[in-house]
A and B are shown apart, each in its own frame.
Chain A
Amino acid sequence: MSAQMAGVTRKPIAKLRSMGGGWLEKVCLGLLVLFVLVALFAPWLSPQDPTYGELGTGLVGPGADHWLGTDQGGHDTFSALIEGSRTSLAGPLLVVLVSTVAGIAIGLFAAWRGGWVDTVLGRLLDVVFAFPALLVAILAVAVFGKGMTAPVIAMSVAYMPYTARLVRGLAMQEQARPYIAAYRVQGHSALYVAVRRLLPNIGPTVLAQSSVNFGYALLDLAALSFLGLGVQAPTPDWGAMINQSQAAVLRGQPLSAVVPAVAVVVVVVAFNIVGENVGDRLAGRKT
């Protein structure tokens, strides 16, 4: 009985269904699930080794051997797309994880302490806001060298203020509600009330923002790879694939660039639509 009383019974599927949404959102959600599954099982799904280039079969069109053709170096585009989904999705995932956790911590702290702490943190966030994410990432690469690590760290920092601002605003609003005061009056510690009671009440809205951030982070990281500053060959990556296909595009064979570009666009748009819709709905429900 106590477990029943204490716990909220949740059936995940039913809950998901109750979230509703239009057909567009459902399609987007389906696409995202598909991409995540592909990334998880990439080594078993890709028909060929995307790092193996056959010089004789460069820029072959789509066919039975190569479903989406090959690039200039004879790498199989379909396999590269599948294997590339791992790095292309893992990078933004890390960025979103780090920036969300840091943003929540800073936003919550600023809202809870208020006063000068809030003012100082607010100004610091403004400063970070002033630097475009891509610029910070390029600077980081210049200092720490090429690869994934430096851009991911730099972009985590650059994306953090978006979450921190949102969390601060939501927390301020939520804090004014008497149920939070009631928890304090009952004798719960400030940390407990802020993290265990207030945060879950604003969590869904924050997650919606994070999923929108994911799309932008993916775009930024792909751009870095395209510039040759991110993921390095031979590791497959969508941004890097576009970069390597530049010459092919100039020769009128754009397929090996179009395929990863479409993948980037589809994932970014899908994340935006799902994130915005969930956020809108939660915002509507809150009032």
Chain B
Amino acid sequence: MALLEYENLSIALPGTARPVLDGIDLTVSAGEVVALVGESGSGKSVTARSALGLFPTGAHVDGHVRVDGTEVVGAGPAALRAIRTGTASMIFQDPRAGINPVRRIGDFLTEALRVSNGWSKGRADDRAVELLGAVGLPDPERHLRQYPYELSGGMLQRVMIAAALTAGPRLLLCDEPTTALDVSTQAEIMAILGRLQRERDLGMLLITHDIELAAAVCDRIYVMYAGRIVETAPTAQLFGAPRHPYTAGLLGSSPPLRAPAGPPARLTPIPGSPMGLLDSAPGCSFAARCRSARPGVCDRTPPPLEGHGTALVACHLAESLTATDNTATGEGT
């Protein structure tokens, strides 16, 4: 059984032209690292938060989200609390936004253990020290007595990871955990997350805008555009032979770090801007920006995710584009 499972999840907000999420199907198994990649407004953060029952206020929610078999959509406060304090934890982009600046790190880390689990201060402190050590902080006892402002962004994000681990979760939801950090700090945080994931056999969903980062650390990648998942494939295949024009466009938009000498080749960006919640398109929402779009075809609603080799693609043209663009083809089932 999948640890995290989305089945046809749709979320609509009043006053918007299109659904925030439109039929999301996604699974994360125990011990698996999965990335959900998308640009601003794609709905990737809303997807992640849905796993904890954190739906936008006033939203109309349809479909299913199951965490370790427990249904989240329509779940009562007790069931949600059980998920949030036991099965799943979340790490956010800005560590400073998630911590009370006037309380010590130690109080922040041990509060849940002492209040929910009724642990003594000594026992909770021991556990906090152990966790801070696990996330690679050099002097856990001292950090317990420090205030958030005394720590750098990278160190504070490690504290947040430690906090996410206090309840011993089996699923870690990471929403842009390194976006606010420097590149070398990013590597360090990803190293820690990777090590913890392997040691504890965690299921991990990494939400990011950075497809290169997703490729570097994940087994499988979902690509999201305007509230829909447009493609999912094992990392190597998605990178080597993208099937959806949007995935290909994202890869073509990132300037390469290593390239032949001489003036760099021109990038081939995707024209236009990502779709806002107030924009809508009748058929495929990417058609307006798609270089391969065909009139009469792409103005119909795109098909659901269909198998093409090991990839699942939601595109009218998946078959024809595959033939011309990709090498590692295999006819879908």
Q: Do chains A and B touch in the complex (CB under 8 A)?
A: no
Taking Cβ atoms with an 8 Å cutoff, the residues of B that contact A are none
